[in-house]
Amino acid sequence: MIEERAYFTKEMKQTHTILVPTMLPIHFGIFVKMMQKEGYNIKVLDNMEKTVIDEGLKSVHNDTCYPALLVIGQLLDGIKNCGIPREKLAVMISQTGGGCRASNYLYLLCKALKKSGYGDIPVISLSFFKDKFTEGFSLSPVFFMKAAYSCFVADLIMLLGNQCRPYEINKGQTRALEEELTRETADFFGNRPKSWKSCKKLMVDIIKRFDRIPRRQEKRVKVGIVGEIYVKYSPLGNNNLEDFLIEEGCEAVCPGFLDFALYCIYNGIVDYEFYGMNKKTVKFRKWILKKANILEEDMVKLIKENSHFDLPIAFAELPKKVENFISPGVKMGEGWLLTAEMAELIENGVGNIICTQPFGCLPNHVAGKGMMRSLKQKYPHANIAAIDYDSGASKVNQQNRIKLMIENAKLEMREREEREELVVESEQRSQQRIAR
C-alpha cells in the first residue's frame, strides 16, 4: 500500500542521495547541477545495459508504457549498483497529469520498489501537485527562473551539436565540446541569479565555439526525429538513434525540449477556451508564452548574426501548422504537437522523419502514425516512418526499417542533384550559344 511507504523529509536533504533516471543528457546535466546548488545531492543514472530492461520487466507489467519500464528499471538497477547504502537513498520521478499513462509512473514505481524489497526507500514526485511525495522536497522561486533560461541554452547546445557532429573533421570534437559546455552552463546557472542579458552573452559564446569546429562541406540526408517525449530524446529509449543516423551518413534534426514545455502551458489555455477550465491561471499562461516567444526570437537572432547554422523551429508557429490536420484539443501525451513538428520539419526542408513511439502508445498512434496519411496528402514528397520501441522489439528490425527509409531518401537526393546538374548544364549551353 502507498500509505505504508517512507516519504522524503526535509531532514533527508542533508543525508540522502537522490537517484534520477536520465532522458536528456545535456538538459539533465544542467538541471542537476542547479539542484545541487540548492543543497540536494542528486545523481543522474547513466546505466544503459540490458539489466535495466530486465529489472523493469521483473517489476512492471510488459503491457505498461515502455518508458515506464525503462525509467523504473533504471532506478531499480541503480539502487542495486550505485554503491550507496539503501538507507541513504531516495529516488525521484517526474509526474504529469491528464490521461497519459505517464500519470501513473509514480504509483508504478512505488509498487515496483515494494515488490523488489525497497519499500523503505523514499520516492520524490517532481511535480507542481502538493502531496506527501512532494512536501519534503522544495526548490526556490529563483531556481525555476534559472531553469527556464537554462532550457533555452540546453536546447541551443543540442541544436548546434546535431548540426556539427555529422560533419566534424576531428571525430569526437563535437561531443567533447557538448560535455564541456554542459559543465560550464551548469556552473553558470548554478551560482547567483542570472539576467537574460548575461544568458545572451553565454549563448553567443556557445554559437561561436560550435562554429569554430572544422567541418566537411558535404550534403547529407536530414532526418527529423519526433514522437513520445522519452523515446524521442533518451538514448536508452531509442537505441542511440542519433548516433545510428550519423553512422548511416545522415544528420539528425530533433526539435528542442522547450517546445514540449510550452505545449503543456499552451494546453492550459486551450482547456480554458474549450471547457472554461484553468480560469485562474490562463492570464499567467499567456504571459509565459508571450515572454518565451520574445526570448526565442532573441536566440534565433543570435544564431543568425553569429553563424550559418540552421535556425530552430519557433513554438509560436506550431499551433498554426495543425489547423487543417488536427484539433488543439487533442493533447494527451504529445498530442497535436507531434503533428505540428512533423509539418514544420517538412516545410523547412526536412522531409524525412522518424516518428518514435512506444509500442501501444495511444496518443502517438493517433497524433503521430494516425496523421501520416494526411501529412503525405499535403506534402507528397514527405518520407515518414513510424518506429515502435518496446522491450520485445528487435533492434535489428528497427534499424532495417530506418535504413530502408534512408536509402529512399538518398536516392531521392541523388535524383534531385542530377536534375539540378542538368538544369545548370542547360543554362551554361544556352549562355554559350548566346555568346557565339
Q: In this predicted model, what pLDDT tens digit does every residue of 127-167 receive, in sequence order?
A: 766 677 777 888 888 888 888 999 999 999 999 999 999 99
User: Where do we find the cell 561561436?
Assistant: 208
| CATH of residue 92 | 3.40.50
Do 250 and 383 share a domain, yes or no? yes
Evaluate if residue 422 carries a pLDDT over 80: no
Do 242 and 97 share a domain, yes or no? no
- By three-state DSSP, how is residue 80 classified? helix
- Cα–Cα dist 284/282, whole Å: 5
Last residue of a domain, one of 100, 120, 137: 137
Task: Please report the pLDDT score of residue 436 as a whole number.
Answer: 65
Asked if residue 189 belongs to a domain, the reply is no
Asked if residue 290 belongs to a domain, the reply is no
Task: Please report the pLDDT score of residue 4 as a whole number.
Answer: 62
Do 320 and 412 share a domain, yes or no? yes
Task: Please report the pLDDT score of residue 97 as a whole number.
Answer: 61
Residue 45's CB is within 10 A of a number of other CB atoms, namely: 21
Do 234 and 128 share a domain, yes or no? no
The Cα-based distances of 292 to 2, 92, 97, 98, 105 in angstroms read 38, 27, 23, 24, 29
In tens, the pLDDT along 403-414 reads 999 998 888 888
- In this prediction, residues 82-94 reach a mean pLDDT of 90
pTM of full prediction above 0.85? yes
Q: Are strands 352-358 and 383-389 parallel, antiparallel or unpaired?
A: parallel
Q: Residue-wise over 13-27: b if at least 16 C-beta within 10 A, else e?
A: beebbbbbbbbbbbb
Asked if residue 20 belongs to a domain, the reply is yes
Asked if residue 215 belongs to a domain, the reply is no
Asked if residue 416 belongs to a domain, the reply is yes
**β-bridge partners, 177:** none
Q: How many domains does the chain have?
A: 2
Do 130 and 224 share a domain, yes or no? no
Do 106 and 6 share a domain, yes or no? yes
Residue 433's CB is within 10 A of a number of other CB atoms, namely: 8
User: What percent of the chain is predicted at pLDDT more than 70?
Assistant: 96
- Cα–Cα dist 282/11, whole Å: 36
Do 372 and 244 share a domain, yes or no? yes
Last residue of a domain, one of 137, 156, 178: 137
Q: What is the DSSP letter of 316?
A: G
Residue 2: band (very low, low, confident or very high) from pLDDT cuts 50, 70, 90: very low
- Cα–Cα dist 162/213, whole Å: 13
Is the Cβ–Cβ distance between 122 and 90 less than 8 Å?
yes
In tens, the pLDDT along 346-372 reads 999 999 999 999 887 888 888 888 899
Task: Please report the pLDDT score of residue 129 as a whole number.
Answer: 64
Do 240 and 127 share a domain, yes or no? no
- Residue 65 CA to its chain's centroid (Å): 17
- In this prediction, residues 178-187 reach a mean pLDDT of 93
Residue 197's CB is within 10 A of a number of other CB atoms, namely: 8
Residue 33's CB is within 10 A of a number of other CB atoms, namely: 20
Q: Whole domain around residue 42: which residue ranges?
A: 2-137
Do 331 and 433 share a domain, yes or no? yes
Asked if residue 118 belongs to a domain, the reply is yes
Last residue of a domain, one of 91, 107, 137: 137
Is the Cβ–Cβ distance between 60 and 72 less than 8 Å?
yes
Asked if residue 67 belongs to a domain, the reply is yes
Do 379 and 240 share a domain, yes or no? yes
